[in-house]
Chains A and B, each alone.
Chain A
């Protein structure tokens, strides 16, 4: 692009500067100089106007106009995905603008070894706070934390089912009563033998053992352990006395300790096996859920980081294409070749920068997909809520725009803002939310549908805004141009007035000074002639010659005599 002259006026010369320029010139040359002196920036006003028009119609600026919103939309979309992936990550509000600035100044490593001066430091995924992890299980065993009295009571009540007596689950053939009171009411039972008839709920797999086993599923927290331990399959209704004897022993240990055999031992072992299978299975399920969630968090965090790694060069490519064209920066005229080159360098860069993140993602992909499938319904409902919330937000923004005073926003600017707000909302809601739902319904995984929907809505929104800008429904571009022209011409006006004032002052002062000097010399000449003092006369004539910048080829009477004698003819002129 050829360099054009700036629309700004030339700097105003001070009175002193102008006076110095004029003083260096012979008084005889002054009229001519003043006549052609550039008192002010004399450039034709209409030409200045044309340059402002050219400035506003500059294709590079137009391309910049679409490139920046496009890249900004993509960055914001990326950050929102990143925000979803790492909800606890701290994101300063300047991130979006920082990233856009980074994209604008981005260079591939083979293009420049160092980042251009003045650019922001490259984004470092480590600046994100690590994703919140679930609290690990408490290593110290605390029975009270794991026992669920309500469930145990409920189980016992269900087992009785309104009856007064029930056989114990260890097959002793001893009819149990639901409470101590019921036992006491039965006179056939001796008072010292009552504990053998009071029903209690027993954990077949003891809580302590379960806690120890949960170490193998290290992600299980106390709540999960409590849920596993108090599953129905782990409950048995036995007498209080047996319960006290058994304590933290397993059923097998208790059988061996008591030397129980026969049918009763078989029944007890069967109950124990059933409980162990149930609790282990449940523990595995809870543990795998925790693992899946943990991995998902890790994976999403990785995706968020990867996204940032990809976002910058991807945004740069879009910015570069829209600003400089597809082919010229790649030194080719073939669009396919240029696109291939761009894709190749983008891929190379991304692979280099994000190899670890990609490996992590692939590793955790399976567990993550499982988890996300479960969360789909919840997500859809959440989106609908967001949709309503966004709608309200946009409505509030529109009201704010309408209430802005006319001195700050013209009617055209308000109209333009509202159109863009509405269209932006349509694209955000329809494209992002509903688009994501549609993509998910088509079987695209949620994180990918998020990415695609936001990217599509960002690009479509940017293009729509560009078209709106191009149509310029409210002549905003013309308003901006008018404001720019007024600014430029106000500056020029001030410049012309000040320059003229300075010129007038400097020229008048110079003329006055020259006139005074001449009058002094003239008076001296007349005086010398009156006094017949030719020495003095010559002194004043030398001053006159110097004043008018006329060369005199001699400097003394002797030199003059020599000069005259040396010349065959003394020629003046």
Chain B
């Protein structure tokens, strides 16, 4: 039993060694065969690519995908930036609109009541309230794939592929190269488009800053206006008291000609600031055309005046 079992064990271990060796050799052989097949496949694919122009097509495809990815990422980042800026602009615009509304309802009415003690005063209630829309709609535009790819090896049947190989790429290589060049052109386009996005970001930053500045102008001037109206109210009450001491019946209006200089200057200052604030209230801050129209009108009036003066100087009848 002992001898047989020893022999049996040694035979078994020998067999298992042989089996493992055979297995290792077989595995190595399979690996080698796989490597060889892969190398052959790669070599063949490379040759096929060179002959038919598929290598250029692959380059074009990879580049186009890269460009699309970059464009998409840039557009996404830009959209997020625009959303942020639009929200901030909307907040500022809302504050300006609130100030504009509050001016008419409270301060201008108070000024009219006070000023009406001297003459008939009216403040036009024209008001322009801005609406903050999306701050920029700039988009990155690239040509669609179908416009660029003159040949598509991915959607090509076996017969057509074989045909291109058979004709040594006579009908495919040039189209593949053209495709690559067209995609490379889009690379230049993308660079310019990304620079435009940066420019738009810079623009939105300064637009926001300028609107914030307008808001601060409003707040600063409104505070001063309130103080000035208080001074005017004090002057009116002082004058009213003085009149009532001198006359039996109170007058409907206080004659502006007999106003003490200090009170006249106060009324004049209030009138001036009302005019400034009214102008600020009337304007739209997000619409350039309105501003330019006003500016153009003033320039046109100036030009007309100048031509009139010139005509008079030269003695030309209008």
**Interface of A with B (CB < 8 Å)?**
25-37, 39-40, 42, 44-46, 49, 412, 472-473, 475, 478-479, 481-482, 485-486, 488-490, 492-493, 496-497, 499-500, 503-504, 507-508, 511, 514-515, 518, 522, 525-526, 529, 532, 534-535, 537-538, 541-542, 544-545, 548-550, 552, 554, 557, 560-561, 564-565, 567-573
Find out whether the CB atom of B122 lies under 8 angstroms from the CB atom of A557.
no
Contact with A along B68-100 (1 / 0, CB 8 A): 000000000000000000000000000000000
B residues apposed to A, CB below 8 Å:
115, 118-126, 141, 143, 174, 177-178, 181-182, 184-185, 188-189, 191-193, 195-196, 198-199, 202-203, 205-207, 209-211, 213-214, 216-217, 220-221, 224, 227-228, 231, 256-257, 259, 261-262, 264-269, 271-276, 278-280, 282-292, 294-295, 298
B207 touches A525 (CB 8 A): no
Q: Which residues of A contact B193 (CB under 8 A)?
A: 45
Contact B119 A39 (CB under 8 A): no
The one of B202, B216, B288 that contacts A36, using a Cβ cutoff of 8 Å: B288
Q: Which residues of A contact B271 (CB under 8 A)?
A: 560, 570, 572
A27 touching B213 in the complex, CB below 8 Å, given contacts A40-B199, A568-B120, A570-B120: yes
Q: Which chain B positions have C-beta within 8 A of A541? A: 269, 272-273, 276
- The reply to whether A26 and B269 form a contact with Cβ atoms under 8 Å apart is no
Contact A27 B217 (CB under 8 A): yes
A481 vs chain B, min Cβ distance (A) = 7
Q: Find out whether the CB atom of B213 lies under 8 angstroms from the CB atom of A496.
A: no
A511-B120 contact in complex given A28-B283, A572-B274, C-beta closer than 8 Å: no
A27 near B181 (CB under 8 angstroms)? no
Give the residue among B202, B221, B269, B278 with the most A Cβ atoms within 10 A: B269
Asked if A565 contacts B119 (CB within 8 A), the reply is yes
| Bound Cα distance A37, B291 (Å) | 13
Which residue of chain A is the closest to B265 with respect to CB atoms? Answer: A534
Complex CA–CA separation, A239 to B261 (angstroms): 156
Q: Bound complex: CA of A507 vs CA of B209, how far in Å?
A: 10
CA distance A522 to B118 in the complex (A): 28
Q: Are A31 and B265 in contact (CB under 8 A)?
A: no
Set of chain B residues within 8 Å of A49, measured between Cβ atoms:
143, 185, 189
Query: Chain A: interface secondary structure?
Result: helix
Enumerate the 7 nearest inter-chain pairs by beta-carbon distance, A residue then B residue, closest first: A573-B124, A29-B291, A534-B265, A32-B288, A489-B188, A569-B120, A500-B199
A39 contacts which chain B residues (CB < 8 A)?
A: 199, 202-203
Alpha-carbon gap, A412 to B269, bound state (A)? 80
Chain A residues within an 8 Å CB radius of B125: 573
C-alpha gap A458/B54 in the complex (Å): 38
Cβ–Cβ contact B211 & A44, under 8 A: no
Partner of A496, one of B143, B192, B274: B192
Contacts of A525 in B (CB 8 A): 224
Q: What's the minimum C-beta distance from A439 to chain B, rounded to whole angstroms?
A: 37
- What residues of chain B lie closer than 8 Å to A32, measured between beta carbons? 284-292
Q: Is the CB of B192 within 8 A of A493?
A: yes
Given contacts A529-B224, A545-B275, A568-B120, contact A31 B268 (CB under 8 A): no
A491 to chain B, nearest CB (A): 10
Q: A45-B192, A492-B192, A570-B121 are in contact. Are A28 and B214 (CB under 8 A)?
A: yes
9 examples of A-B residue contacts, CB within 8 angstroms: A27-B217, A28-B280, A40-B195, A475-B178, A482-B185, A493-B191, A507-B209, A511-B213, A529-B227
B273: chain A residues at CB < 8 Å are: 541, 544
Whether the pair B269, A534 counts as a contact (CB closer than 8 A) is yes
Using A39-B202, A544-B276, A561-B256 as known contacts, say yes or no to A489 and B290 having CB atoms under 8 A apart: no
| Residues of B with C-beta under 8 A to A549 | 295, 298
Asked if B202 contacts A475 (CB within 8 A), the reply is: no
Shortest C-beta distance, B188 to chain A (Å), equals: 4
Q: Assuming A565-B119, A573-B126, what are 14 further A-B pairs, CB within 8 angstroms?
A: A32-B284, A35-B288, A479-B181, A481-B181, A481-B185, A486-B188, A503-B206, A504-B206, A522-B221, A538-B265, A544-B273, A545-B275, A570-B121, A572-B275
Asked if B206 and A508 sit within 8 Å, CB to CB, the answer is yes
Please report the C-alpha to C-alpha distance between residue A541 and residue B282 in the assembled complex, in whole angstroms.
Answer: 19
| Cβ contact of A46, chosen from B143, B268, B284, cutoff 8 A | B143
Q: Within 8 Å CB of B207, what residues of A?
A: 31, 34-35
State whether A28 touches B291 (Cβ < 8 A).
yes
Distance in Å: Cβ of B149 to nearest Cβ of chain A? 14
